[in-house]
Amino acid sequence: MSTHLPPLPRDIGTVNWIGLWTLYQREVYRFLKVYTQTIAAPVVTTLLFYAVFALALGGVVRMAGSVPFLVFLGPGLIVMAMAQNAFANTSSSVVIAKVQGNIVDVLMPPLYPLEMAVAYVGGGVTRGMFVGVVTGIAIWVFVPLGIHSPAYILFHGLMASMMLAQLGMIGGIWSEKFDHIAAFTNFVVTPLTFLSGTFYSVDRLPPTFWWLAHFNPFFYMIDGFRYGFIGQSDGTLAIGVAVMLGINAALGVLLLRMLSTGYKLKA
């Protein structure tokens, strides 16, 4: 008589690479499918801001430090678009899945919190980088931007996208309905991206705000990214690098904690 053994659990190894890759791909296809809204729209909006603020402020402040205002404004707008879109990708994905209930499709498979986080945040970072490259090319057509240090551009571009993608996922998990994430976007993320030095050098700020800016991670993200283009920065570069690494690590810990306890995700 043959012995019937119960089926062995499928061995997926230490890391569920297929699951991780599949979830990442879904996150990327999600935004590529509606590229007019996720890539073309941010590019058009960014160019509009570029035109409008260049015209409004160009007359009064022709130079920002030693560079023309137009060259100063470009990198700030690029990283702002990257940040906002990285945030939009993860936050919308999580909130929609929660509201519609299909978040279980992600919770049921054998994915560790770390794998889930990497896949989602990776999707957000990919969208941020996509938007950054396309916006950068679009701006470059009008005002050629020089590149001072590709390393700083890449580092701060990646860190900015990652910070906002993580923040988007955290915000998405915290939100119980669309109103919550919309409020978080409108009242927290948008003002921080707009007011942290995209449109002006923080040296122009009144003293109190100038002091406050140096505690704002968004400031270091914009400042460091801009340094990569114009070779001129408002803050200390090393502090900027440290702040970006620190804030990403802190957000990562918080995100993993939320995922492993199932905060607002599991019953």
Partner 1 sequence: MTPRPVGRILWLGAWTLFLRELRRYSKEALETVLAPAFQALVYFVILVFALGPERGTDEGDALLSHAMPGLILMAVLFRSAETTAFSLLLDRMEGIISDVLMAPLGAAEMTAAYALAGAVSGLATGAVVLAGAMLVWPLPPVHFWALPVFAALSALMMSLAGMLIGLFCEKWDHLAAAFVFVLTPLTFLSGVFAPVDTLPAAVAFAVRFNPIFHAIEGFRYGFLGSGTGGDPLASLAVVAGTVVVLLACNGVLIHRGYKLKP
Sign of CA dihedral 137, 138, 142, 147: negative
Report, in Å, the least distance between residue 196 CB and partner 1: 10
CB-wise, 48 or 147, nearer to partner 1?
48
Residues in contact with partner 1 by the rule CB under 8 A: 34, 36-37, 40-41, 44-45, 48, 51-53, 55-61, 179, 182-183, 186-187, 190-191, 194-195, 199-201, 203-206, 209
Query: Which residue, 166 or 185, has its beta carbon nearer to partner 1?
Result: 185
Phi-psi region of 13 (alpha: psi -120 to 50; beta: other; left: phi over 0): left
Nearer to partner 1, 69 or 225 (CB): 69
Angle at CA of residue 212, ends 243 and 155, nearest 5°: 25
**Phi and psi dihedrals of 110, rounded to 5?**
-75, 70
CB of 74 closer than 8 Å to CB of 50: yes
CA nearest neighbour of 229 among 155, 150, 137, 142: 150
Phi, psi of 68 (to 5 degrees): -60, 150
| CB closer to partner 1 out of 73 and 162 | 73
Please report how close the Cβ of residue 92 comes to partner 1 at its closest, in angstroms.
Answer: 12
Which residue lies nearer to partner 1 by CB, 200 or 229?
Answer: 200
Give the shortest CB-209-to-partner 1 separation in angstroms: 7
Query: Minimal distance in Å, beta carbon 73 to partner 1?
Result: 10
Q: Which is nearer to partner 1, 70 or 107 (CB)?
A: 70
d(CA 140, CA 156): 19
Write down the least CB distance from residue 125 to partner 1, Å. Answer: 23
* Whole-angstrom distance, CA of residue 45 vs CA of residue 43: 5
- Exposed / middle / buried, residue 149 (Cβ in 10 Å: 0-12, 13-18, 19+): middle
Greatest alpha-carbon span in the chain: 92
- Residue 229 Cβ vs partner 1, minimum distance, rounded to whole Å: 19
| CB 220, min distance to partner 1, A | 17
Q: Nearer Cβ to partner 1, position 86 or 181? A: 181
Q: Which of 69, 40, 250, 246 is nearest to 166 (CA)?
A: 250
